[in-house]
Amino acid sequence: MNQAYEDLLAHQKQTMALGRIGGLMSWDQEVMMPRKGADSRAEQSGALSAVMHDRRTDPRIGDWLDAIPTEGLTPTAAANIRLIRRSYDRTCLIPKALAEETAKVTTKAQITWAEARATNDVAAFAPTLRHVIDLTRQYADCLKANGSRYDALLDDYEPGATEAGIAGIFDRLRVGLVDLKTRISDSEHSPPKATGDFTEDAQMALARDLAGAFTYDWQAGRLDLSVHPFSSGTRGDARITTRVDPQNPFDCLYSTIHETGHALYEQGVAPDLDWQPAGQSVSMGVHESQSRFCENQIGRSAPFAEFLWPKFQEAFGNAGLGSADDLYRATNRVAPGFIRTEADEVHYNLHIMLRFDLERALIGDDLQVDDLEAAWNERFETDFGVAVPDPARGMLQDVHWSCGLFGYFPTYSLGNVYAGCLDKAMRGDLPDRDQMVSSGDLAPVVTWLREKVHRTGSLLAPGEVIAEATGAEPSEAALLDYLDAKFGAIYGL
Amino acid sequence: MNQAYEDLLAHQKQTMALGRIGGLMSWDQEVMMPRKGADSRAEQSGALSAVMHDRRTDPRIGDWLDAIPTEGLTPTAAANIRLIRRSYDRTCLIPKALAEETAKVTTKAQITWAEARATNDVAAFAPTLRHVIDLTRQYADCLKANGSRYDALLDDYEPGATEAGIAGIFDRLRVGLVDLKTRISDSEHSPPKATGDFTEDAQMALARDLAGAFTYDWQAGRLDLSVHPFSSGTRGDARITTRVDPQNPFDCLYSTIHETGHALYEQGVAPDLDWQPAGQSVSMGVHESQSRFCENQIGRSAPFAEFLWPKFQEAFGNAGLGSADDLYRATNRVAPGFIRTEADEVHYNLHIMLRFDLERALIGDDLQVDDLEAAWNERFETDFGVAVPDPARGMLQDVHWSCGLFGYFPTYSLGNVYAGCLDKAMRGDLPDRDQMVSSGDLAPVVTWLREKVHRTGSLLAPGEVIAEATGAEPSEAALLDYLDAKFGAIYGL
């Protein structure tokens, strides 16, 4: 390649290295940082953000891009140039002061949110949330051109996705889910519930064991506790977190498997393209397809329950369950809970649709922060049939809005849709998958994901990655078929 | 103040914020980072280092400094300007490529060192150490002007100190220490030794308890494990680490107290001068005076043993000891051990003098890396009377050289000298100190340190801080008097 391309990639590598530092800072803030470190950390985030903004808008990037011949590019070079051009054009539209203020405000907002959540104090969080929304609107206004603010935000997480396209998928998905949950609630079947004493040590030991079974590389990551489970980092340093509920071990175990799915993607994404934009994970939706696939299509399957049952008994005793089938059904109880991350597969996407509609209204100025709690609670009761008891189980439950992550939530449901597509395709390629999973041999499953999804990096667009992997355009139909079959059997529908 | 000063301070604040990010990265690397994260972290360190170098050599700093009137400055402004000028002038002498390469190489070198130490493999570390020394020499050559390379390096850690000045103090200190250790080894007194089963949980719980007794603010820090105990961060986020030896609880407990002393300085340094150069700790020697004072003059005193004894019994049982006086003497056994950080107060400075002489020779090209192990072992046997059994207990025991920290070791002994001076002065100001300490009321001790040392920040030079606090120029005499009196009583000399 020519010198401009070499210079551009070298510059990009340093920018990516600084970006990884930002990832470490966020991880530390959630997992390790003492409370009084927040003010200083906010200054640090602001300073790094300013540096990143300067680098991303460095006019030399434009010069280098212009100096690279457009003909005869390798697919990798073409993807790198496409991704850098896109980032450069977008970032140049954002004033540096706005980027810096947003970094500072959202760093502090996460602390304010955590405290408000702990004390159920919506009023304590409201001014901060207003500030974050105001900054997010300003940001979207810089980018939206002729599209909607929300389209502009979506593009950061799912390049190419649109509000209208997602609304279409969600509308069709909603019909199927509401029908299924109604049939389930009318069913006389009631899966068993695990009860007993689930110590933190036993939960964490089993969580580590399961992450390892999914081939998580412990030399390239670590597992810690945080309020909200998340994954962070990439390649040689892809960390995960979980949380422990002494009443319910499945929260810890399935959060761990979920985050392991994310980390497997990072640990396996295009290993030969390190430090290149084409070698990065392609979108939040595809990322979520990896975590949800591991968590649900594998982790909450009947064969996995067979694998898990002896380990579960060793860790916790029988916990009121009598067999692997009991465990399978216990991990697939369908009930209208308040917490998104603990939701069953039938209700999960309804949680997302609630947030999708509310955050579109917030960003579009059709809903004010003062009215958010009432709007949340009303919509929740309509969709789930139960009243929200307190804000920690309502509008304060998720960290996202305090981080300024508007447009992020729908990628969770896109991930579920993609996971449904991948599951269908993998069953064709690995007809013996159930036997592999029940014996705890998950390597072939992960290898399939590596080859079909991880290795592609960002060489293709998100929808193209799924279409290439599955041989068909992504559609919600596979997910609905999977859910109907699975829960139809469990609930005798 | 004028606009140039405001702009300079605002620029400085962002630089300091980025510097704190570097501190977090180092902490994470030692305490949390998975092994395979090393390569990426090296790139991150290099990228941040390049950013820092650009900022520190930003020509606007020179312009701002020139535009600030030299008359009518407050003492704080004068100190800020003096410190920024010094940093700017020094940094401008270092080529950016050298700064960046040093950051990358030393980041990886710490991993190489840790592995070499674990496997006692000097040959595996030698090429890396040669590389680090070569970079350090280049660095010193940029700065040394008419002084020695070693003077140039010292100036980073103890501004104003010189090789010759330190050699003079060390020569006088050495005479007294050799005399004292000879008399002790001739003594028939043998202090008791703690024996038993010291679990990690019990050690860490007591370590936390003791850090709290020293008023360590847990909302502004945390305690973790690392290979080599250290403190990191400042103000609202001043973290400490320790390590656990199941055979010897004192390593964990006194490492914790030592690092707590460092952290107390950071948590208390000039609180009204945050984000200003004048509001930072003044030197490594003064820093070490705080840690060593807490560890030795307080932590290894007879009154502290009275406070510790019931806690110790609760944690570990009697461990072969019969009284607080036994505990006092057990924590003050004098013996020629191999490990610097575990050394008693009589031998400690002899460890430093060994490193001081060897590293001066390495930097001055009078000693080659290939000859270092032999030189270390020969000198050790001469000074301590025992042969080094393996490199992990010899030249591979300390992380410093892998980090490029040449010129740092002597500040440990300067810290001991300063701690001797502070102890003498504090006894005059707090005649009831022994009673306070034996009852566990350490707040007056810490308040004295806060007011006499911490609050001063960098408004004065290091030696001036100690002179102001104690009313006399620093001298090794106070330390030698303290050691003679203490160990004379314990060993019946």
A337 class by beta-carbon count within 10 Å (0-12 exposed, 13-18 middle, 19+ buried): middle
Please choose, from the candidates A173, A426, A410, A209, the residue with its C-alpha nearest in 3D space to the C-alpha of residue A298.
Answer: A426
Q: How far is CA B176 from CA A167, A363, A455, B171, B480, in A?
A: 82, 74, 66, 9, 7
Percent of chain B with pLDDT over 90: 94
Is residue B333 classed as helix, strand or coil in its secondary structure? coil
- Of residues A36, A218, A235, nearest to B40 (C-beta): A235
- Please report, as a single letter, which amino acid is at residue A208: R
* pLDDT at residue B103, rounded to an integer: 87
pLDDT tens profile B419-476: 999 999 999 999 999 999 999 999 999 999 999 999 999 999 999 999 999 999 999 9
Q: Which two tokens stand for residue B475?
A: 């001298």
pLDDT tens profile B390-402: 999 999 999 999 9
Is residue B96 scored above 90 in pLDDT?
no
pLDDT tens profile A364-418: 999 999 999 999 999 999 999 999 999 999 999 999 999 999 999 999 999 999 9
- Residue in chain B lying closest to A36 (CA): B236
* pLDDT at residue A442, rounded to an integer: 98
- From chain B, the residues in CB contact with A52 under 8 A are none
Count of CB pairs separated by less than 8 Å, A with B: 114
- From chain A, the residues in CB contact with B36 under 8 A are 217, 219-220, 235-237
Angstroms from A188 CA to nearest CA on chain B: 49
pLDDT tens profile A145-174: 888 999 999 999 999 999 999 999 999 999
Q: Which two tokens stand for residue A131?
A: 């500030």
Torsion of CA B119, B122, B126, B129, to 10 degrees: 70
Confidence of residue B329 (pLDDT cuts 50, 70, 90): very high
Residues 4-23 of A with CB under 8 A from B: 13-14, 17-18, 20-21
Residues 45-104 of B with CB under 8 A from A: 46-48, 50-51
Place of tokens 């400094």: B65
- From chain A, the residues in CB contact with B218 under 8 A are 34
pLDDT tens profile A69-88: 989 999 999 999 999 999 99
Percent of chain B with pLDDT over 70: 100
- From chain B, the residues in CB contact with A46 under 8 A are 14, 17
CB within 8 Å: B236 and A32? no
- Please report, as a single letter, which amino acid is at residue A349: N
Residue range B92-118: mean pLDDT, rounded:
92
Neighbours of B303 (CB within 10 A): 18
- Of residues B13, B43, B237, nearest to A17 (C-beta): B43
* pLDDT at residue B209, rounded to an integer: 98
- From chain B, the residues in CB contact with A48 under 8 A are 17-18, 21
Residue range B273-301: mean pLDDT, rounded:
97
CB within 8 Å: A219 and B32? no
Angstroms from B18 CA to nearest CA on chain A: 6
- Whether the CB of A474 is below 8 Å from some CB of chain B: the reply is no
- Of residues B32, B38, B219, nearest to A34 (C-beta): B219
B418 vs B414: CA distance, rounded Å: 6
- Residue in chain B lying closest to A20 (CA): B44
ipTM for this model: 0.90
**Active-site annotation holds for B30:** no
B361 DSSP assignment: H
Are residues B446 and B264 in contact, defined by beta-carbon separation less than 8 angstroms?
yes
Is residue B224 scored above 90 in pLDDT?
yes
B31 vs A352: CA distance, rounded Å: 37
pLDDT tens profile A419-438: 999 999 999 999 999 999 99
Residue range A237-264: mean pLDDT, rounded:
97
Confidence of residue A107 (pLDDT cuts 50, 70, 90): confident
* pLDDT at residue A1, rounded to an integer: 62
CB within 8 Å: A21 and B220? no
- Residue in chain A lying closest to B35 (CA): A219
B245 DSSP assignment: B
Interface test with B, best of A14, A27, A200 (most B CBs within 10 A): A14
Backbone angles phi, psi at A492, to 5 degrees: 60, 45
- From chain A, the residues in CB contact with B21 under 8 A are 21, 25, 44, 47-48
Interface test with A, best of B12, B29, B33, B44 (most A CBs within 10 A): B44
- From chain B, the residues in CB contact with A218 under 8 A are 34
Please choose, from the candidates A401, A433, A416, A432, the residue with its C-alpha nearest in 3D space to the C-alpha of residue A480.
Answer: A416
CB within 8 Å: A275 and B41? no
CB within 8 Å: A44 and B21? yes
Q: Which two tokens stand for residue B106?
A: 């030393």
CB within 8 Å: B219 and A43? no
Is residue B357 classed as helix, strand or coil in its secondary structure? helix
pLDDT tens profile B50-62: 999 999 999 999 9
* pLDDT at residue A342, rounded to an integer: 86
Residues 259-288 of B with CB under 8 A from A: 275
Interface test with B, best of A11, A12, A15, A24 (most B CBs within 10 A): A24
Rg from Cα positions in chain A: 22
pLDDT tens profile A244-253: 999 999 999 9
Of A30, A100, A163, A259, the catalytic one is A259
- Of residues B17, B44, B47, nearest to A47 (C-beta): B17
CB within 8 Å: B43 and A13? yes
pLDDT tens profile A465-481: 999 999 999 999 999 99
Q: What does A298-359 look like in DSSP terms, one character per residue?
A: ITTSHHHHHHHHHHHHHHH--TT--SHHHHHHHTT-----S-GGG--TTTHHHHHHHHHHHH
CB within 8 Å: B28 and A25? no
* pLDDT at residue A270, rounded to an integer: 85
Interface test with A, best of B43, B107, B235, B275 (most A CBs within 10 A): B43
Angstroms from B43 CA to nearest CA on chain A: 6
Q: Over the range A300-310, which residues count as b (16 or more CB within 10 Å of their CB) and which as e?
A: bbbbbbbbbbe
Is residue B493 classed as helix, strand or coil in its secondary structure? coil
Torsion of CA B364, B365, B366, B370, to 10 degrees: 130
Percent of chain A with pLDDT over 70: 100
* pLDDT at residue B1, rounded to an integer: 62
Angstroms from B67 CA to nearest CA on chain A: 25
Interface test with A, best of B16, B20, B27, B32 (most A CBs within 10 A): B32
Angstroms from A97 CA to nearest CA on chain B: 14
CB within 8 Å: A44 and B17? yes
CB within 8 Å: A43 and B275? yes
CB within 8 Å: A41 and B14? no
CB within 8 Å: B40 and A239? no
Is residue B266 scored above 80 in pLDDT?
yes
Residues 218-247 of B with CB under 8 A from A: 218-222, 233-237, 239
Which ranges in B214-301 belong to alpha helices (H)? Answer: 249-268, 284-292
- Whether the CB of B41 is below 8 Å from some CB of chain A: the reply is yes
CB within 8 Å: B222 and A35? no
Angstroms from B50 CA to nearest CA on chain A: 9
Is residue B271 scored above 90 in pLDDT?
no
B161 class by beta-carbon count within 10 Å (0-12 exposed, 13-18 middle, 19+ buried): buried
* pLDDT at residue B453, rounded to an integer: 97
Angstroms from A99 CA to nearest CA on chain B: 15
Q: What does A24-60 look like in DSSP terms, one character per residue?
A: HHHHHHHHT--GGGHHHHHHHHHHHHHHHHHHHT-HH
